[in-house]
């Protein structure tokens, strides 16, 4: 999760694509020059250990979009694919 946040912050779109599961990965990942990621807080995590096949991470990421502050809150699913952890996608809220 932290490496993907850093990739968003540094506009490393190639890394974002390769760290995304091929079944859920978009055709392209575009950067937005107006968007700046300014902080990440991990709120919760489960799974993701040495013998796990998947894990979840709940996070809050702060950003500035055209100078205006905002935040993104998500529970994400990560799975092992070809021996490494990749982002599957958001877990829909049950609320």
Residue 44 belongs to domain with CATH number: 3.10.450.50
**Model pTM?**
0.90
Q: What are the tens digits of pLDDT across the range 8-35?
A: 999 999 999 999 999 999 999 998 999 9
Residue pair 54/80 in contact by the 8 Å Cβ criterion: yes
- Give the domain extent around 65: 2-90
Averaged pLDDT score across all residues of the chain: 95
93 phi and psi, to 5 degrees? -70, 145
Does any domain span residue 69? yes
Does any domain span residue 37? yes
Does any domain span residue 84? yes
Tokens of 92: 């829909």
Does any domain span residue 71? yes
Does any domain span residue 95? no
Beta strand 68-81 pairing with 35-47 = unpaired
Tally of structural domains, the chain: 1
Per-residue pLDDT at 79 exceeds 80: yes
């Amino acid at each position: 999760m932290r490496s993907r946040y850093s990739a968003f912050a540094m506009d490393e779109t190639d890394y974002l694509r390769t760290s995304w599961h091929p079944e859920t990965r978009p055709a392209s990942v575009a950067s937005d020059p107006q968007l700046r990621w300014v902080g990440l807080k991990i709120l919760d995590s489960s799974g993701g250990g040495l013998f796990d096949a998947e894990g979840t991470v709940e996070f809050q990421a702060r950003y500035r979009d055209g100078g205006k502050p905002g935040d993104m809150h998500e529970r994400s699913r990560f799975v092992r694919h070809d021996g490494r952890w990749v982002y599957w996608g958001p877990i829909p809220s049950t609320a």
